[in-house]
Structure 1
Amino acid sequence: MDARELKTVKKTKFTWSWLWSMPVRLALLLAMSWFIYYEAQLVIPQEADYLEKWSGLLKAHQVEVILCLLLLPVNVIFEALKWKTAVQSFHKLNLWPAVKSILFGNTLGIFTPAKSGEYAGRLLHLQMRESPPGIMANLYCSLAQNAVNLLIGGICFGLNTKFNTLIDNSLTLGMVTFSMILTLLMLMVYFNLGTLFGFVQEKFQRFFKSFSVLGDEILNSHQKVNILSWSLLRYLVYALQYVLICKAFNFDLSIVQLLQGIGVIFLIQSMLILPPVMSLIARGETALLVWSVFGVEADKILLASLTLWMINVLIPAIAGTGVYSLHKYRGVKAV
């Protein structure tokens, strides 16, 4: 086969690959459009003129909203650096491919309970033989972020007596203690995950025969600390975004009160496992529960929650769809 014929075959293969990806991309876009419309209809009361109020507040506080948008890529980069650290022992990943993995994971995560599709999206960019250690890497990232959320959330819950109204006063100390114990247990599992899987694999060899690598330790202590550090930085960036949005929607609260409320919201959200159609509703209900303690109006709470969801969940998911489309169009590997 000469060079011209080889070029023709490659071109034909590329064209069919592009055509095959079209319905997949279209399905993703249609599903996302329906998802956005459905959740917005459930969260925003139709009888209130919310769109006019929303538009007015955003125009009056453009600086806060722009700053929040500018922090979005910082948030994504921190998560990409965390993922890059988690997989570096078995897959050499540069920053930009790591960012694309995170964005595509967000696309799948928007449709799945507890954003489980986010982790599957990251695995799709690894080779098949790297899937088992990729599962381990996902577990490390998830445990680290949840440990940070639980630790800070438990402290915030205990620091403000207003949160006593959320549960019985006698249970407040128990709630804080439970959060601290859960954080400690999570960190113990985090720093001994390979050993734990090795023990389980030894006891149930029949079920783990195909995933023997799960018993291998893919990270050293220094890398685990780094992942925790990236998780803390990501928490701080996300908390700052939330503060900016609260200021944009005129939450008449101090910075300390805002940070305490945000910590409790993250604490509650870390414990929720919900189907995708309930995720935005749960965010709105959780925000209403927490911010109502401080006397913030319900319309401001719902609009702030929806705005933050659009910035930190919807935009990355749309960007991930674009990454997937571009990847298929160029006919190259995503990472």
Structure 2
Amino acid sequence: MPASPTQSYVQTAARSATRPAPARRRGGWVVAAKLGITLLTLGLLWHSLVDNEATAAAWRGLLARSLGGTGRGPVLLALLLVPLNWGLEAWKWWRLARHLEPVSFRRSFRAVLVGLTLGFVTPNRVGDYAGRIMELKSRRLDALGAVFLGRYCQLVATVAAGTLGLLYFLLTFYVAGYPAAQTGLVVLTLLINLAVLLPLYHSELLVAAVQAIKPLRRFARYLAVMPTYPARLLTDVLLISGLRYLVFGAQFGLLLLAYGVQTAVGPAAAAVAGTFLLKSLVPSLNALADVGVRELSATHLFGLLGQPALPVLSASLSLWVLNIAVPSAVGLIFVLRLKVLRKRRAVPAATETAPAPEARQPSV
């Protein structure tokens, strides 16, 4: 019987570090690709920040409120949280990447910014994978599973908070007075969170499911690294994801306050969590397309709380400008300096050794 991707991973991981480099380095194509990404990113930034009337008005209002008025304090605090937001993401990637090879936090932070810039111009932000992988010196194909694992941890945090937020709105505005329906929704929320959490600690089930689906079978070997991550490391990464989620939510709350949205903290937190979840569940063509999904969700949920659409819309657009547009522009600096082609060489064992899949005993 042929070996599964998970079983064959341990046998092939050592060989991947010593595979010969390509015979020819297509340096001209690499330079052209970097310039193309730079021009495309700058074009999208111009379209979203200048040509788009709603976003342009939002960032001008953000700038005006940061320079004076009652909104200055919250806006400046939200701006100061931007490095912390992406620093936590870099910390998360650093924990995952050093399972594959020794890597510094500085390089991990650079990889996150490069991935953010490439994701800005690619469908469903798949460029995020390429940006992080190209910053590694070896085992780049194995890194696909590591990037997916990091994004999945962030999804778990988003689903956990988002389902609770949406549950509040469902119980308050849609099924109030129907105890049986309310009980069913609570149970459904619990089951959804368990269903999302299970594959994180039993990723061999996810690899087996991908292997069983013929169109996805070719991706199974890239995900085979996931079951080698110990449960303790996964828990740490999940906690970092939760911290990053809190920072992101705090930024949204500060911007809502800056634009004059007045509502109780609990319902506002539920609306923010529901907005993030709905945005995460909808595929997008690029980062710019995420804007419409987030704004539609935010204005609807805050509308149920009696808040006008315009300040909510401005706060949500400003959140996108601070956390996506500005860091993507900064990431262009590192994209131009990125070494796409590297000479493969043997890499010493990482500090966190990958256990054999059959010996691992994951636990929640």
- Structure 1: how far apart are the matches of 2:328 and 2:84? 16
SS in 1 for 2:228: coil
SS in 1 for 2:117: helix
Q: Alpha carbons of 1:290 and 1:192: their partners in 2 closer, same or farther (altered >3 Å)? A: same
Contact 1:89/1:218 (8 A) holds in 2: no
The code of the aligned residue for 2:297 comes to T
Q: Alpha carbons of 1:251 and 1:178: their partners in 2 closer, same or farther (altered >3 Å)? A: same
| Offset from partner CA, 1:157-189 (integer Å, 9 cap, x none) | 223568635x99877665554443222112111
The code of the aligned residue for 1:144 comes to C
Q: Alpha carbons of 1:39 and 1:93: their partners in 2 closer, same or farther (altered >3 Å)? A: same
Q: Which of 218, 221, 225 is matched with 1:211 structurally?
A: 221
Task: State yes or no: 1:279 paired with 2:279.
Answer: no
- Structure 1: how far apart are the matches of 2:143 and 2:302? 38
Task: State yes or no: 1:31 paired with 2:26.
Answer: no
Shift in Å, 1:50: 6.5
Q: Alpha carbons of 1:35 and 1:24: their partners in 2 closer, same or farther (altered >3 Å)? A: same
Q: Which of 259, 262, 276 is matched with 2:269 structurally?
A: 259
Deviates more, 1:70-79 or 1:292-301: 292-301
Question: For residue 188 of structure 1, what is the aligned residue in structure 2?
Answer: 198
Q: CA RMSD in A?
A: 3.4
Task: State yes or no: 1:122 paired with 2:132.
Answer: yes
The code of the aligned residue for 1:135 comes to L
- Structure 1: how far apart are the matches of 2:146 and 2:48? 31
Q: Alpha carbons of 1:316 and 1:174: their partners in 2 closer, same or farther (altered >3 Å)? A: farther
- Structure 2: how far apart are the matches of 1:230 and 1:332? 33
- Structure 2: how far apart are the matches of 1:93 and 1:269? 32
The code of the aligned residue for 1:256 comes to G
Contact 1:25/1:321 (8 A) holds in 2: no
Task: State yes or no: 1:94 paired with 2:93.
Answer: no
- Structure 1: how far apart are the matches of 2:31 and 2:212? 45
- Structure 2: how far apart are the matches of 1:316 and 1:332? 29
Which protein is richer in helix relative to its size? Answer: 1
- Structure 1: how far apart are the matches of 2:121 and 2:104? 27
Q: Alpha carbons of 1:105 and 1:231: their partners in 2 closer, same or farther (altered >3 Å)? A: same
The code of the aligned residue for 1:143 comes to Y
Task: State yes or no: 1:140 paired with 2:154.
Answer: no
The correspondence of residues 56-71 of structure 1 with structure 2, limited to 5 A, is 56-59=64-67, 60=69, 61-71=71-81
Shift in Å, 1:80: 1.0
Gaps of 5+ in 2: 1-25, 345-364
Task: State yes or no: 1:224 paired with 2:234.
Answer: yes
- Structure 1: how far apart are the matches of 2:172 and 2:275? 11
The code of the aligned residue for 2:200 comes to Y
Task: State yes or no: 1:308 paired with 2:343.
Answer: no
Shift in Å, 1:153: 1.4
The code of the aligned residue for 1:32 comes to T
The code of the aligned residue for 2:281 comes to M
Task: State yes or no: 1:288 paired with 2:281.
Answer: no
- Structure 1: how far apart are the matches of 2:285 and 2:121? 8
Gaps of 5+ in 1: 1-15
- Structure 2: how far apart are the matches of 1:212 and 1:260? 36
The code of the aligned residue for 1:30 comes to L
- Structure 1: how far apart are the matches of 2:226 and 2:154? 22
Shift in Å, 1:62: 1.7
Question: For residue 256 of structure 2, what is the aligned residue in structure 1?
Answer: 246
Question: For residue 164 of structure 2, what is the aligned residue in structure 1?
Answer: 155
- Structure 2: how far apart are the matches of 1:110 and 1:172? 39
Give the fraction of aligned pairs with identical amino acids, expressed as a percent: 21
- Structure 1: how far apart are the matches of 2:234 and 2:73? 36
Q: Normalization by structure 1: what TM-score?
A: 0.80
Contact 1:65/1:248 (8 A) holds in 2: yes
Q: Which of 313, 323, 327 is matched with 2:334 structurally?
A: 323
Q: Alpha carbons of 1:21 and 1:212: their partners in 2 closer, same or farther (altered >3 Å)? A: closer
Shift in Å, 1:239: 0.9
Contact 1:79/1:231 (8 A) holds in 2: yes
The code of the aligned residue for 2:319 comes to L
Contact 2:91/2:108 (8 A) holds in 1: yes
- Structure 1: how far apart are the matches of 2:185 and 2:63? 39
SS in 2 for 1:295: coil
Q: Normalization by structure 2: what TM-score?
A: 0.74
Contact 1:80/1:98 (8 A) holds in 2: yes
| Offset from partner CA, 1:216-263 (integer Å, 9 cap, x none) | 623101001001100100011111111111111110112223211111
